[in-house]
Structure 1
Amino acid sequence: MQVGDKIVFGRYEWRVLDIKNDAALIITEDIIEQHAYHDAYKDITWADCSLRKYLNGEFYNKFNTVDKSRIIPVLNKNLDNQWYGSKGGEDTQDYIFLLSIEEVVCKYFGDSSKNLENRSAKQRYWFQRKDINNNKRRSTFDGYVWWWWLRSSGRDNRRAVYIHGDGNIGIQGNGTFRYSSNTIHPSTGDNSGGVRPALWLKYQSQ
């Protein structure tokens, strides 16, 4: 197994993002469903949001016993938003999680850290539309280009960072509950954000 490989695990196809010791960090190759970040209109962080509860509960339980034994719980750091200072919340131990803005911007989809660390006066909501790494972050749901959630907080704690359909980073965030947009997915009629779960997978013994 190597970084960049595609593998099948459970019901889904995944892409290998990183390898450490005897485990691989994987993310679903495509968006697998749409889901609100939280189920109420209130200040929220990843630690307490309903999407985290769903991924580590109902979604995790879709895996069989053997597959569950290969999913490694990890401690995730949840930093404050670098542009707006909104709280990232408590560190969390997760079986299944969303990637953070740092992981997507600086590590696993090319290095666009300069855009995170050196915000220009013209940048209010997004990173650079001409970022050469945007294409690596684009994803689809049911054959259509769509946006997907990260776990990091947006410009306030009623928003979460997302990846725009063109791969640009929406660091200001979209609303975590009943996101207000007239852009709806062509096949679902829903405007909710896409979900690309990530997890650390233990190598299967030969």
Structure 2
Amino acid sequence: MDWTDAARRRCCRMVSYAACLEGADVVRHFDRRVAARREPGYVFNKACVQSYNFMSFCGGPLEVATEEEAEKLMSQNEKDSANEAEVLSAPPRLVYNNFVLRLARDMLVAVASGWDQHVEVINKIIPQHWKDEPVARILELCILHIAMAEMTSKGTPHKVAINEAVDLAKRFCDGGAPRVINGCLRTYVKDHMNNGPSQAAESKP
């Protein structure tokens, strides 16, 4: 994965989540955000983008030896979170170049075209406790939609799409979400896609 792919997926995740909260079509929401004029007096600190790592994700828990190290880590996490919040809430044209925006829109078109079909599949493969709290799982469901659209419409290899979806979940969702998303997407590949021998082998851990 390169920076362009990571940025495209982050943009798609952000737009899909916001569109679902509004009950809006993902492509129309994207177009509206991209075309929106800046609010008077709005100033975006471009240094935020330069220091923001589009390819990073949350790994396992970190261990520290002293309270001082723990305080430094917490302070850095707070700075990174504030920086990330500013990047993700900024108008897309201030964060992403035109090439990334074109790729993101193309991906969102694929997400929208397969949305209804994927909703039916997702309802079959997600755990019951996600069904019981769908509003609390909007972000996770958006990640599933993006990954499924990548595999079915864009031809992204199964392993790549699954790994990137898991990385997004590690970055933006709670602790159990990456494992659930990994399992759901592997079930989707196994039971709901027409796999040739090479694709089936590729989707194995």
Same fold, TM-score > 0.5, yes or no:
no
Asked which structure has the greater CA Rg, the reply is 2
More strand by share: 1
Query: What is the TM-score when the length of structure 1 is the normalising length?
Result: 0.29
More helix by share: 2
